Structure 1
């Protein structure tokens, strides 16, 4: 379905004198359809502000933020801010969040460094869209505590350990490719926040530079890439690898993961395509300048779209069954963020494309 110019303005009104533009995907999804996806995410939000995987399911601090970002991009600013308030309220004294919470009850008290870092991406994204400096100041202590904790996970070689025991704070030494690539983006956003409010953090800048150098010059310090597609495209998505090297990285494993007309595999040897990973790959391609391929990927997963605007997590294509049988909040969110990057609709559309790598 092609989005006409009239469809590209919000169905919910205007900001000041200028019509508010909402994300769309030319020839695939109109802005009203993306707005419906935002509404589907808002309906999954708990009264506490938490954004679980699906109603009654678990909430983790990374996917919670991704879903909040989609709310910001689709005009649900109050709901997005309720999500950030949840993050503010549930942050622990050490700056971390539990890995898993289920309807308000902590189910896994562990610490994941990447999960904790992502708050900076969401807070910067919401500020870019709303221009709300008071929100940025209000969330600064939360971001500051989280990023200072995360920096303790950095090894001498520049890579970040993936997690720790919450009670003892003993760290697990493995440095994972996907988590580190996401931390790379989070550190850039954290530095931008600090600069915006006039409180620069040189230690964060150093941590970002050391991590960027590890990706460029010492890839062996990370755990070997797994059979999951995220380890393939995340260095590009997180901004650690771009340009010609990023293009080569994507081309190298394209045939392993991409299933024409259906999306991309989550795991390279399984007949299972997933909407979130496909959307994230689209974001990576858009950041490399290949918008046409990004549009094609989003078009390929429309078989996962539900009439209510939400998206099913994935499809086992050799038997035609959706699995798991759930419409996940974060899958819908990834589609929205990809649509925003492709259409360059909101002021936050470059949150992935514009990552700086020292």
Structure 2
């Protein structure tokens, strides 16, 4: 029996053995967090931030991945089915839907990193289940999403931010978003390789994008006040090894608040659960599990009685803010714990050793 057949809010006997981390989660706590995500999921599979708030495609996928890490494969598959059924004709999804209602988009722009992330989730679900039929069903969805994203790739390799509802392309490139797209393209290529359907254009696009992330910061908008721009090039797999270590150490003291978590943006005295969990996942991928566990322990103060996590905490005011508990914050926590616990699908997707790397362009691309 899985958590989906357990009473909402009860511990339940779901597959939580890899979601236990001393000082972070017990099995009962993990199951309660999974139940909290499941309770927010609509019957049609949509996973909004919380009921009554909007759904965005990226966070929807992150929550679905957390459900898979907990053994809630039917719920996760329903989330991907929602994406397949409501994909726009150009391969995209809208940036936001009211409470996950497909017929009520509240932001009709189409953000490239939101669209691309389906590839990460689909590959994670396949690795979690070994379900080739699922991969067959989702391949057209992934293919169309990647093709949409690559239509916004610029000559320097970076990916434009979004396409507006009127068809106007915003060619401004965001480092965090492009780093996430880099990860998604690697997963999309892994799916293509598994299906023995080579995609050389995707390989070249991935190589160009990785080159831009590593060597051409001037091709991206200056958002370096945000912690995501600091760690996402590492989390997305574009920056590795000694360069990753140097990048993280360089700004550690700016963004990390010992005992509390990771700032969203400097100099604001605000730590957030999502950024903290993603940095922990980044540190794990770098082989620094001890520091990753420390950060996850620190954000225990964001855990609510229902097993969900508050978005953030303003430590100068000793105040929770905003007063919301999101499925994606809980999902990020569960994925970080799953990686540290050795969940095979999660480690394969975020560790990246077995993901394709693309074709690195020779020399500089201009």
Question: Which TM-score band applies after superposition, normalised by the shorter structure?
Answer: over 0.9
> Match for 1:300 among 298, 301, 304?
298
2:119 maps to: 120
Instruction: Look up the match of 1:246.
Output: 244
CA shift at 1:326, angstroms? 0.7
Aligned residue for 1:68? Answer: 64
Measure how far apart 1:245 and its partner are.
0.6
Distance in 2 (alpha carbons) for counterparts of 1:163 and 1:43: 31
TM-score normalised over the length of structure 1: 0.92
Residue 336 of structure 1 corresponds to 334
Aligned to 2:13: 12
Is the 8 Å Cα contact of residues 91 and 145 (structure 2) preserved in structure 1? Answer: yes
- Relative to structure 2, which stretch is displaced further, 191-200 or 278-287? 191-200
Task: Give the Cα separation in 2 of the matches to 1:185 and 1:34.
Answer: 26
Structure 2 residues not aligned, in runs of 5+ = 1-10, 359-366
Within 5 Å, which residues of 2 pair with 1:79-90? 79-90=75-86
Look up the match of 1:311. 309
1:209-248 residue pairs with structure 2 within 5 A? 209-248=207-246
1:147 corresponds to which residue? 146
1:180-202 deviation per Cα after TM superposition (whole angstroms, max 9, x unaligned): 00000000000000111121211
Q: Compared with structure 1, are the counterparts of its residues 13 and 119 closer, same or farther at alpha carbon in structure 2 (3 Å cutoff)?
A: closer
Cα distance, 1:347 vs structure 2: 3.0
**What residue number does 1:109 align with?**
108
Task: Give 5+ residue unaligned stretches, structure 1.
Answer: 1-9, 15-19
Residue matched to 2:36: 40
**What do you get for the CA RMSD once the two structures are aligned?**
1.5
Counterpart-to-counterpart distance in 2, 1:267 and 1:357 = 30
Tell me how far 1:218 sits from its aligned partner: 2.1
Report if aligned partners of 1:313, 1:325 keep a CA contact under 8 Å in 2. Answer: yes
Secondary structure at the residue paired with 2:294? helix
Q: Distance in 2 between matches of 1:286 and 1:350?
A: 12
Does 1:197 pair with 2:186? Answer: no
| Structure 1 counterpart of 2:345 | 347
Map of 1:159 onto structure 2: 158
Note the alpha carbon deviations across 1:252-289, whole angstroms, 9 max, x for none.
Answer: 11111111100011111111110010000001111110
Tell me the CA shift for residue 49 of structure 1.
Answer: 1.2
Alpha-carbon displacement from aligned partner over 1:3-56 (angstroms, at most 9, x marks no partner): xxxxxxx96368xxxxx8432224432233223211110111112211111111
Partners of 2:60 and 2:17 lie apart in 1 by 24
**TM-score relative to the length of structure 2:** 0.90
1:78 aligns with 2:70: no
- Which is further off, 338-347 or 21-30? 21-30
Aligned-pair distance for 1:304?
0.7
2:185 matched residue in structure 1: 187
Secondary structure of residue in 2 paired with 1:334: helix
Change (3 A) 1:13 1:275: closer
Once structures 1 and 2 are overlaid, which stretch shifts more, 340-349 or 23-32? 23-32
